[in-house]
A and B are shown apart, each in its own frame.
Chain A
Amino acid sequence: MLAIKVILIIILTPLAGGLLVGFDRMISARMQGRQGPPVLQPFYDVWKLLSKETIEVNRFHRFYVYLSLMFIILTAVVMFSGGDILLAIFILSLGAMFFTLGGYASWSPYSVVGAERELLQMMAYEPMMFIVAAGLYYVSNSFFVRDIINLEKPAIVYLPAIFVGLVYILPFKLRKSPFDLSVSEEANQEVIQGISTEYSGRALAAIEVTHWYETIIALGFVYVFFAANSTLSRVLAVLVCLIVYLFEMIVDNSTVRVRWQKALSSAWIVSGVLGIVNLTILSFFNF
């Protein structure tokens, strides 16, 4: 039973992620007055990448990308089978660290700059992730996702400020403006393609699939805030995830990339202020 569940998670998550990314490109195009690619375009992209030749700079850097993909899959399994959310955050950061190391391993100017920026991004959003986990623990007395989504009232009722903070740092994880410092979906970035500069073929396909997993995992965090005991709330939670994603799309299309100093300081200040305020108010309710 568990094995079937795990396999389903591993297969369905990237499919859902790819579809979401496809919708993202189509809707962004419509917002800009264009027709845009077909919704299944991300899948075509990955299919094409799989059939391309894989060229490399040295023997090592492709390895990291596959490792990173494995860890992301592990995170998705942990999170969507109801496991420990703090563990999921740790494994996620481990996967991201491997991705960054892959950027360093090729030692090309663009990928190293991208890797430094990726490390900076990680430093910027980690505090908020921990505060989210802490807040969810306060509310439900457990780190396990299956306990958090089985509460009487959804966690958002007690943690509104933390939710706002989560939405603020979501562009980091979804690789959207204004925080798409290291590697992004659009073409012709400041640093060519950032970390993914030296990858091609299968490794690049792996990076793309990792991105799909990351998108769904990030939305999973949003889901956890809204899901509760009743089925209605679960449906509502999925709807909210889609609305948040739409919101992030709008933000993506209307903002520019910020400088790294601003990204770091704004993320830290927002996480700190919102986190402390919310948790302090919460502690008065005797959990």
Chain B
Amino acid sequence: MTAVLTVLTVVKYFGNGLVLSFQQTEVMDVLMLAVEIGMAAYIIITGFKEKKYLLALFSIIQIVMIVGFEFTEKKGIEVHDYIVLDKLSGIMVLIAGIIGSLISIYAVGYMKSYHAHHKEVKERKSFFFSVIFIFLSAMFGLVLSNHLMWIYFCWEITTFCSYLLIGYTKTDEAKHNALQALTMNVGGGLSFAAAIVILGTKFHTLELSALTSMKPNTIVLVCVFLLCLAALTKSAQLPFSSWLLGAMVAPTPSSALLHSATMVKAGVYLIIRLAPLLGESVVGRVMTLIGAVTFLACSMMAITPHDAKKVLAYSTIANLGLIVMCASVGTQESLWAAILLVIFHAVSKSLMFLTVGSIENVIGSRNIENMNVLMQVSRGLSIALIIGICGMFLAPFGMLISKWVAMKSFIDSKNILIVVILAYGSAATMFYWGKWLGKLNCNRKPKGYEKKMELRKDEKAPIFFLTAIVLVSCLGYPLASRYAIVPYLVKIFGTPPVIPIGTGDQILMVLMIFMVSMLVLVPMGHVPTGLFPKRRETPIYMAGENSGDDQHFIGSFGIERKSDLSNWYMEEVLNTKKITFWCNIVSVTLLGAGMILLIGRWGM
């Protein structure tokens, strides 16, 4: 239902955009303030109860600032455009609406299976769904608002929903991770509030569109820096990435919705909006480097985990780092790449999360090592997952196109370090997706293997739709580019549009799509047509000691042994704790340097 409404709204207003102004906003403002104070009170009390004093401190400062601001300075500020639906918002609304609805449908079936498996978790399904719907509305509000206070309000609501969902299972680990997420995001909210206060006091405006069209003098840059800091926490960039990794204990629909497709996109959405002010400025450079460090570090760390959801989490953070890099470079080309990356990543990642959730239900484990039976156990699931993985890094799927354009724009911007980092990060990306893909391609028929549970129809349908969307989007991205992205960029930059990829290349892309689609014919090899001559089948080569079923071989003393094959995880080479530690230090240094430079300029 939501999806249909979303599509209708976007289609209707897409052409000219929509700008809404409200006159009597007093009631809205008071209501929002009341909800904010309520949330803050809950957070402060929780903070004191769980001895997380930092959390309580953040929240106290934040709410004092906002309330104080509300009752003093804000009286004199006129806000004209409250809700703006331009092309970028349209894209975000489509993403949130369509993917959100598909995930909600999926969640219905998933939660039933989840509670059948995890009997120890108390069933609060209605709570779960209400939080998800509140979250979706907050997401819509976030991307549609132009009034910074309203964006802030929706921002805080998404934080709160995330906290509630992570702590859903109420285990100790879940509670701890939820509080960690809450602390970091509230810290980000604090930064956001500070930005609003400064902006309102000094410039007497609270509109995002006004902010982005200002000249980048120092105070504006300070506000932008604070807003970017908030975006960094929301999008789990270094040094704030630990909350997203911990958030994987939540049930899969919330991981899919919040922590890959929509909520973390809110942060990068803000950065994309602020892009005209980034670029060559101090803030822009700092953000680019932070995005780069995150991308490289998390791509390498994604090689180590066995748990599929952890791999997806690291990959999400890495891709968000890439989007931050592209958005902060600030040129027209790189923004094109950034927006395309947002679309493709949201679609592919949510598909993968949903599939992993179903896989957990079907084979009872999230460990990648156990997924080699998947092709025989549930062919549809493995194909969906394969398409999702391919969508993340293979040509001619969308992510590759975006990476290509990103590479071009980075080289154009003459920033050598990020070109090199993009090269290394992409190489690492190829490794961990490749080995997962290989594991899924194993056609081993397991002896005496029993499925834990059948795949439900209400899980199958959303997965199927999302797979179709992934395929369609990779074919249809030129349309999106022509009708949505390029006009948005022209409006922002005021220069004639830039077509990053020539038509000759596009023909090649179509050719490649055709060839890759032949891959889909691979499982059809099972269909006994008369076309392929019967080939002689032999067991695999095990130095002649194959005991006949391809899984056991005859070892010394004539004892039959099982052959076990596993992927490389490179844990000795890539020590996650060490890498995280050093990269945190690097990113904190970068942020600190940025702050010092800004303050230095302010003082001058």
Contact = CB atoms under 8 A, between A and B. Distances in A.
Are A and B genuine complex partners? Answer: yes
B310 interface: no
B414 A272 contact: no
A90 B372 contact: no
B548 to A, nearest CB: 13
Contacts of B518: 67
Contact of A60 (B420, B424, B443, B508): B443
Nearest to B412: A137
Q: Main secondary structure on chain A at its contact with chain B?
A: helix
A153 to B, nearest CB: 20
Contacts of B434: 97, 100-101, 119, 122
Tell which of B442, B504, B536, B541 has the most Cβ of chain A within 10 Å: B541
B427 A126 contact: yes
Interface string A41-57: 00000000000011111
Given A57-B540, A101-B441, A276-B416, A90 B404 contact: yes
B595 to A, nearest CB: 27
A283 B414 contact: yes
Interface string A128-145: 111101100110000100
A130 B400 CA distance: 13
A236 interface: no
A123 B431 contact: yes
B181 to A, nearest CB: 32
Interface in B532-553: 535-543, 550
B515 A70 contact: yes
Q: Bin chain A's interface residue count.
A: 35 or more
A14 interface: no
A105 B441 contact: yes
Contacts of B427: 122-124, 126-127, 130
Interface residues of B, number: 57
A156 interface: no
Interface string B421-432: 011101110110
A96 B105 CA distance: 38
A108 B540 contact: yes
Contacts of B414: 283
Contacts of B536: 53, 55-56
Contacts of B505: 84, 87
A124 to B, nearest CB: 8
Contact of A63 (B424, B512, B525, B539): B525
Given A107-B565, A109-B563, A138-B411, A71 B515 contact: yes
Contacts of B568: 116, 120
Nearest to A268: B424
Tell which of B395, B416, B443, B504 has the most Cβ of chain A within 10 Å: B416
A110 B443 contact: no
A150 to B, nearest CB: 17
Contacts of B540: 57, 106-109, 198
A178 B553 CA distance: 32
Interface in A232-287: 261, 264, 268, 271-272, 275-276, 279-280, 283
B525 A59 contact: yes
B419 interface: yes
21 contacts: A56-B537, A57-B539, A57-B550, A63-B525, A74-B511, A84-B502, A84-B504, A90-B404, A103-B438, A104-B437, A107-B540, A107-B565, A109-B565, A119-B438, A129-B423, A130-B419, A130-B426, A130-B427, A134-B419, A272-B424, A275-B423
Interface of B: 372, 394-395, 400, 404, 407-408, 411, 414, 416-417, 419-420, 422-424, 426-428, 430-431, 434-435, 437-439, 441-444, 502, 504-505, 508, 511-512, 515, 518-519, 522, 525-526, 535-543, 550, 563, 565, 567-568, 573
Given A97-B437, A110-B541, A130-B423, 8 more contacts: A60-B441, A67-B515, A93-B395, A119-B435, A124-B427, A127-B420, A130-B407, A138-B411
